[in-house]
Structure 1
Amino acid sequence: MIKITHDDFDINAMISQARTSKMGAMVTFLGTVRDDGIDSLQFEVYEEVAITELESIRNEAFEKFGIESVDVIHRIGDLPVGEDILLIIVGSGHRKQAFDACEYILERIKESVPIWKKEVGESGERWIPGEAYNS
């Protein structure tokens, strides 16, 4: 599953849905809004391109690592400190492929998916420069 949403997600439900009998390993990455002296992060997306790019990254990971499954959910909108932002779930027959694929997917998302974030706090608002997605 590849999904961009304003809604929060149930991590345990997503892991249960991703699980198959062929998996010996599941690796998850959960990105959250950390307290860096801000009130929230605002995420904006060019959704059609972002979905296409996420699907391409998923396909690259399948080819490169021989994994069983990839699920990516990314939230957009105004997310206060403590909220979940990004969930990546990778299932594989073996743990090394799952870990390597999860890290690869995260780095590729940061490089090429058109999702931008802005810090919002007492001192004002500031777009985070640099990568398409910078966490």
Structure 2
Amino acid sequence: MKRFNITNEPINNQDVIDQVIHHNAGAVSVFIGTVREMTGDKQTKFLHYEAYVPMAEKQLQKIGEEILVKWPKAITAISHRIGTLQISDVAVTIAVSTPHRQDAFDASRYAIERIKEIVPIWKKEHYTDGEEWVGNQKGTEAYPAGHPEGVEK
């Protein structure tokens, strides 16, 4: 398994964690993003994620490099799932190890916020009363087929 990957398969959280464990890690922070049923007053039936996989993996690696600059002893692994996900399925797992806990917490939060900003992954929410594409990654030019913004931004 690559440390920064996009997958169609369910994410094995332990595999992601195992990639950052080492003898100088005093803390490992793990963020697991799951599919929720309610978004405000809308009930979600399921989500569908699409990605431009080569670029998405490259951007995940970039996030890992940014974390290493901000937290020099951090080791990061990120796995994001694409395809159709049901309620409670794991969509993303981020593991960050650092010598101290606060850095691990901060780096993990940094990673999820950057994913939303720069990684070309699109989410279509299927509600009980309709569907819509959600998300607005900065710097992302291409959208998946059927996206309301068209082929290019």
In structure 2, C-alpha distance between the alignment counterparts of 1:8 and 1:131, rounded to whole Å: 23
In structure 2, C-alpha distance between the alignment counterparts of 1:69 and 1:95, rounded to whole Å: 13
Q: Indicate conservation of the 8 Å contact 1:40/1:79, yes or no.
A: yes
Q: Indicate conservation of the 8 Å contact 1:22/1:68, yes or no.
A: no
- Max radius of gyration: which structure? 2
Aligned 1:15-34 pairs, distance under 5 A: 15-34=17-36
After superposition, the CA RMSD in angstroms is: 1.6
1:63-109 C-alpha deviation (Å, 9 max, x unpaired): 11123310000000000101000000000011111111111111111
Q: Which residue of 2 aligns with 1:90?
A: 96
Q: Which residue of 1 aligns with 2:145?
A: none
Structure 2 unaligned regions, length at least 5:
141-153
What percentage of residue pairs aligned between the two structures are identical?
A: 36
In structure 2, C-alpha distance between the alignment counterparts of 1:90 and 1:97, rounded to whole Å: 9
Q: For 1:18, what is the secondary structure of its paired residue?
A: coil
Q: Indicate conservation of the 8 Å contact 1:67/1:98, yes or no.
A: no
Structure 1 unaligned regions, length at least 5:
none
Q: For 2:11, what is the secondary structure of its paired residue?
A: coil
Q: Which residue of 1 aligns with 2:150?
A: none
Count of residue pairs the alignment pairs up: 133
Q: Which residue of 1 aligns with 2:78?
A: 72
Amino acid at match of 2:125: E
TM score, norm. by length of structure 1: 0.91
Q: Indicate conservation of the 8 Å contact 1:70/1:89, yes or no.
A: yes
**Greater share of helix:** 1
Q: Which residue of 2 aligns with 1:46?
A: 52
